[in-house]
Amino acid sequence: MSEELFKQMAQSIIDGDSDLSVELAKKAIEINMHPLEAITKGFVVGVNYIGDQFGLGEAFLPELVMAGEAMKAAVATLEPELIKLGSARETLGRVVLATVEGDIHEIGKTLVGTMLSASGFEVTDLGVDQPADKIIGKAIEIDAQIIGMSALLTTTMVRQREVIEELDKEGLRPRIKVMVGGAPITRDWFQKIKADGYSEDAVGAVKVAKELMGKSDQ
């Protein structure tokens, strides 16, 4: 039963059918499927497929855009459920989250933000295409302990390093810790740019953020 639903979810993204992806997300809620399971085993499979096809030249920009919209709509439908299931008891820390300058991919970043909020972090999500000075300025303004940066393009991941270099120059680390992620981000890259934390998915992002706050046992 779930397997069939996962397949339909993936297909709705591949077809760029937002109405259907929202309907399937609602169905998942109805049958008490864990929202993260619906995202990772269903919808993400579809968006990854389209991404691969695009990379191979077998799918084109309009299809990528439609798939992105359908994915965004499905995740937005599941977000309130993720928040409800969250284990928030106290404020674990303040996080400024952004997709770096030149990059407009927001789905993964938003999912990381939702999971962090659901787990008790106060998240200020600046959105996409955010330059270093905006990210750092906001972190200072709200006295954030963590900056989380998403980058989905190999051409924009270098922006993560720029923010870290700027923080170092201003003497703002280790007061502000930096966590990085996004599809092209690897452990190698994270070590190379001397970030404080890295995760390849939203569940791992929560774990890393807790570790950075010295609260890994919660």
Question: 10 Å Cβ neighbour count for 202?
Answer: 22
Q: Is 72 in the site for ligand B12 (CB under 6 A)?
A: yes
Task: State CA 33 to chain mean position distance.
Answer: 21
Q: Is 173 in the site for ligand B12 (CB under 6 A)?
A: no
- Judged by CB under 6 A, the chain residues 135 through 154 that form the site for ligand B12 are 148-150, 152-154
Q: Give which of 147, 134, 212, 136 is closest to 169, Cα–Cα.
A: 136
Three-state SS at 98: strand
Q: Is 18 in the site for ligand B12 (CB under 6 A)?
A: no
Exposure string of 15-53, with b = 16+ CB inside 10 Å and e = fewer, is bbbbebbbebbeebeeeebebbebbbbbbbbbbebbbeb
Number of residues this chain uses to bind ligand B12 (CB under 6 A): 42
- Judged by CB under 6 A, the chain residues 83 through 122 that form the site for ligand B12 are 102-109, 111-112
CB of 94 to ligand B12, least distance (A): 14
CB of 121 to ligand B12, least distance (A): 12
Instruction: State how far the Cα of 144 lies from the Cα of 72, in Å rounded to an integer.
Output: 27
- Of 120 and 148, nearer to ligand B12 (C-beta) is 148
Instruction: State how far the Cα of 12 lies from the Cα of 6, in Å rounded to an integer.
Output: 10
Cα Dmax for the chain: 55
- The answer to whether residues 65 and 13 touch, using CB atoms and an 8 Å cutoff, is no
Which residue in 9, 25, 44, 123 binds ligand B12 (CB under 6 A)?
Answer: 44
CB of 212 to ligand B12, least distance (A): 10
- Of 33 and 67, nearer to ligand B12 (C-beta) is 67
CB of 183 to ligand B12, least distance (A): 4
Helices (H), 86-214: 107-118, 132-141, 158-169, 187-192, 202-212
CB of 27 to ligand B12, least distance (A): 20
- Of 38 and 149, nearer to ligand B12 (C-beta) is 149
Residue ranges binding ligand B12 (CB under 6 A): 44, 47-48, 50-52, 54-55, 61, 64-65, 67-68, 71-72, 102-109, 111-112, 148-150, 152-154, 179-184, 199-202, 205
